[in-house]
Amino acid sequence: MREALIRRLPRQLCADSPAVLAEVLEDGVNMALWQRRLSRPVERFAARLARGEPLAVSQVVELEHPEAEPGLGRLLVAHAGAEGYAEFVADLTWLVSAYACLIDARRVGLRLRSLETAMCPRFHVDRVPLRLVTTYCGIGSQWLREGAMARARLGDASAEPGEAQQIDTGAVALFKGEKWLGNEGAGIVHRSPRPAGEPRLLLTLDWLA
């Protein structure tokens, strides 16, 4: 009985290949993490955005079909002359395309924000099907292995463990939430990191349709 229970615990998969992202579709997997490193042009441009004027981009990306290339040509156009702009937009385009193709999405909610404080400082789960999260600049999000904290006490600061798993800057995570069919009660537990003295540049993608 105990062995059967252990097998049912949600799993988190990490690898240095983007192929790992597709494994989040498997039953029993609530996070897939691609441990990548950003190119220098993308890294520099992201740092420029994070340390510049406050940034809060929010848009719905419409795709004619899930394999269509998203039209992001006007995104951040005010920075088009900066070094690394083309590479950064190309990276965003690839992530949106890969995300949409993976789940057959035709509408994707894109948010790109610079942050100086923790947006969601308490451990929680998302009430969404599947969210892509990557931190282009600054400290990455934190997550917990199953059992590290009682789900019934999520949001309770006194119940939070002293240590958490840390996602590296540039790594791409797919967080399966509570609205993924069959994943009720098993969304990945995560939080925004505590401020580390530098701004963050955070991208999230959500499946809208």
Query: What is the mean pLDDT, run by run of 10 residues, along the chain of 209 residues?
Result: 60 98 98 98 98 96 87 91 97 98 97 87 95 97 94 91 94 98 96 85 97
pLDDT of residue 4: 47
How do beta strands 172-176 and 29-34 pair? Answer: antiparallel
Q: Which fold has domain 12-207?
A: Jelly Rolls (2.60.120)
Distance between first and last Cα of the chain: 39
Instruction: Round the CA-based radius of gyration of the chain to a whole number and report it.
Output: 17
pLDDT of residue 5: 47
Rounded Cα distance between 139 and 203, Å, is 13
Give the bridge partners for 135, in sequence order.
Answer: 202
Is the CB of residue 179 less than 8 Å from the CB of residue 26?
Answer: no
Is the CB of residue 191 less than 8 Å from the CB of residue 118?
Answer: yes
Strand, coil or helix: what is 69?
coil
pTM value? 0.93
pLDDT of residue 2: 52
Rounded Cα distance between 24 and 198, Å, is 31
Query: Given CA atoms 104, 128, 186, 20 in this order, what sign does their dihedral have?
Result: positive
pLDDT of residue 11: 96
Domain map (residue ranges) of the chain:
12-207
Rounded Cα distance between 133 and 136, Å, is 10
Rounded Cα distance between 156 and 120, Å, is 13
Q: Of 123, 130, 109, which Cα lies nearest the Cα of 172?
A: 130
CA distances to 101, 126, 135 from 57, rounded to whole Å, are: 22, 20, 15
Residue with tokens 């949600």, as numbered in its chain: 10
Other CB atoms within 10 Å distance of the CB of residue 75: 19
